[in-house]
Amino acid sequence: MKIAILSRNRNLYSTRRLVEAAELRGHSVQILDHLRCFMDITSDNPTIHYGTVEFNRNDFDAVIPRIGASVTYYGTAIVRQFEMMNIYSINESVAITRSRDKLRSLQLLSRKGIGMPITAFAHSSKDIDGIIKEVGGAPLVIKLLEGTQGKGVVLAETKKAAESVIQAFMKLNADILVQEYIKEAGGSDIRCLVVGEKVIAAMQRQGPPGEFRSNLHRGGKASLVKLSPTERKTAARAAKVMGLNVCGVDLLRSDSGPLVMEVNSSPGLQGIETATGKDVAGMIIGFIEKNAKPKRNRTRGSG
Ligand code: ADP
Ligand code: MG
């Protein structure tokens, strides 16, 4: 097969591993920096231009989008162009867009009855008291809607602290999410790697002492973890609701069962492959081999 990987940096571990796994299985791979792609959207024969080359529907059988959070808008437009060319994308543009919007994804997950921490959204409500009450009072977690890697996630231990932080964020005109603090998670969470409705690898991430955020970027450590059947089912269902074939589903272990925190459409492979020793990249390519057919995308650029 001819596979395109949309990635801004060919030296990233995840990109390198996907190339390696695809080539090992006899496929040819090309890495395209999505920001350097351009497209003629008015033509009735959709193509993608890259430098001096013009790609059409015969040039690729499948595309693997690895779109960073800061370039979601343009990146998903490129994925949509591939879909319009009837080229199979392992994650569709609509699903990526959906998962990038924390508010939209939590609303969708809650509609399907998937467990998540009690969460309120706010922009500039005067009723700070009401928001705090809504999630059960302090301690609580306040998150900037646009944060990643644990930046913009604050634990407010007291009601006073919660009020000041919420006020400060509102003053900055930021959209925030106020969430019940899951104390019993003990500064750890579980990353489930889902490929095609199945959890194929999972790791526990534990923040350093005194840190409630488990992000590996913040010094968290990854280790092997055995999932309960409910955890597996919850992660697989969350992926399905988001419509993502490949994703990382982050769970908190709470007294009332697994709670979904977020679903990541371009999960990093380094942490999970190192912690589990599994060939996650190979399984992603395996999924493409089984599923990549022209016109297989459900939405085909329709929105
Ligand atoms: P980011 O998108 O920046 O990674 P997250 O929502 O994943 O933000 O939060 C970062 C980390 O903080 C999580 O991995 C988890 O360890 C911790 N955390 C987040 N929300 C809660 C919560 N409601 N209760 C307990 N811990 C939380
Ligand atoms: Mg996170």
Q: Tell me the pLDDT tens digit for each residue of 203-250.
A: 999 999 999 999 988 899 999 999 999 999 999 999 999 999 999 999
**Ligand 1 probe mutation, 153, 157, 177, 179, most atoms within 8 A of CB:** 153
CATH code (residue 73): 3.40.50.20
* 292 falls within a domain: no
- Closest ligand to 222 CA? 1
Establish if 303 belongs to a structural domain.
Answer: no
Please give the distance, rounded to the nearest whole angstrom, from the Cα atom of residue 6 to the centre of ligand 1.
Answer: 27
117 close to ligand 1 (CB < 6 Angstrom): yes
- 103/244 same-domain check: yes
Within a domain: 106: yes
Packing angle, helices 93-100 and 72-84, rounded to 10: 160
Same domain (yes/no): 109, 214: yes
Instruction: Give the pair of three-digit tokens for residue 201.
Output: 């690898």
Q: What is the pLDDT of residue 247?
A: 98
Tell me the CATH number at 244: 3.30.470.20
Q: Are residues 111 and 244 in the same domain?
A: yes
Cβ neighbours around 55 below 10 Å, total: 21
* H or E element at residue 234: helix 229-242
Q: Which domain holds residue 128?
A: 119-181
Q: Considering only CA atoms, which residue is closest to atom 12 of ligand 1? A: 213
Q: Which of 258, 145, 285, 129 is nearest to 202 (CA)?
A: 258
* 106 and 212 share one domain: yes
- Overall domain count for the chain: 3
* pLDDT by residue, tens only, the chain of 303 residues: 999 999 999 999 999 999 999 999 999 999 999 999 999 888 788 999 999 999 999 999 999 999 998 899 999 999 999 999 999 999 999 999 999 988 899 999 999 999 999 999 988 778 899 999 999 999 999 999 877 788 889 999 999 999 999 999 999 998 899 999 999 999 999 999 999 999 999 999 999 999 999 998 889 999 999 999 999 999 999 999 999 999 999 999 999 999 999 999 999 999 999 999 999 999 999 999 999 987 777 765 444
Does residue 300 belong to any structural domain of this protein? no
pTM of the model as a whole: 0.94
Pocket lining: 81 vs ligand 1, CB cutoff 6 Å: no
Establish if 36 belongs to a structural domain. Answer: yes
Task: Measure CA of the first residue to CA of the last residue in the chain; give whole Å.
Answer: 27
